[in-house]
Amino acid sequence: MPRISFGKAAPKFWDAPVMQGVGRAFGTCGELVQGQFAPGEDFLVTLPVDLWSEVQVAVSMSSSTIVGNSSRKIKTGMAIRKALDYLGFPGWGASFYVKSDLPEGKGMASSSADIVAACRAVAVALNRPLSAEEISRIAVEIEPTDGVMYSNVVCYNHRQGRLLEVIGKMPPTRLLALDPGGQVDTVAFNRIPKDYTADEYRRIEQAYEWVKAGIRIHDPLKIGLGATLSAEVNQRILPKPYFERIVYLAREYGASGVCVSHSGTVLGLLFGWHEIPKIAAARQSILEDIDRRIKIFELPVL
């Protein structure tokens, strides 16, 4: 474990000359699809959203310690240490400050985004580029990771940190995201064997094919069908409260489908970019007919 310390205020910047950098990474609203291909390869299909983690880093030669602004961000400190070591500066340290829009424990890639942003910040500070593949290798040494180091939608092995396929860019989409509450320890969840049945393997593969085809021909209905099917399979593994009613409301108000965090708490209704009245009506119905305690927010899909 690297030496990492934390303070309540902004991080200390050493008196010695420092090299500063800022890195950013987007989060997700769960995944469009997640599971295993029949041979047993784990994968997820990313769903990038307009929520971000930003990490500011100051690298110094005067100490090998990593100093951060929040005790919750130990994985960020680990990423900075690993990035410095990877780039050939094992004796150097850094001070970092994290600013994030992403709630923790919800399945929105908060820690993955922090890790990716931290690696990018170190690369900027040292003027030593890191590719998405290199950042992926660093990230998966810390924990199973979302594919948020890659632009657009990708199929990604989150356990091995391996890009499987670049799928493309989502059509213009807004998400009505729902958080019924609670948190999930993603690392602990990923240790649980999933033991998919033959029928579940078939449905996961169908979900993937629908989503991939939908993105490539910009067909929101195919994307929604695939996302909903994957979410339905996941109900056996990590059930979401109110799921069936939310799927019903998605159909009632013209959403193309429902996505979930397969290892978290959030759900999302997928709408077209200009379907603002439908989104408002669905929001009102969820609050009135399901539970007023559900946290609801709108997210643009990137």
Domain boundary among the residues 133, 148, 164 is at: 164
Query: How many domains does the chain fold into?
Result: 2
Residue 70: predicted pLDDT: 80
Say what the pTM is. Answer: 0.94
Contact 78, 238 (CB under 8 A): no
Domain boundary among the residues 116, 147, 164 is at: 164
Residues 205 and 80 in one domain: no
Class of residue 88 by CB neighbours under 10 A (exposed 0-12, middle 13-18, buried 19+):
exposed
Pick the closest to residue 31 from 115, 168, 156, 194 (CA basis). 156
Residues of the chain with pLDDT under 70: 1-17
Q: Which two tokens stand for residue 18?
A: 């420092």
Amino acid occupying residue 179: D
**Residue numbers of the domain that contains 98:** 4-164
Residue 18: predicted pLDDT: 80
Q: How far is CA 83 from CA 19, 124, 140, 141, 167, in A?
A: 14, 11, 12, 11, 28
Residue 9: predicted pLDDT: 41
65 phi, psi to nearest 5 deg: -75, 145
Q: Which two tokens stand for residue 202?
A: 């078939």
Residues 26 and 74 in one domain: yes
Residues 146 and 46 in one domain: yes
CA atoms within 13 A on the CB side of 110: 22
Domain boundary among the residues 117, 149, 164 is at: 164
Residues 44 and 159 in one domain: yes
d(CA 165, CA 220): 20
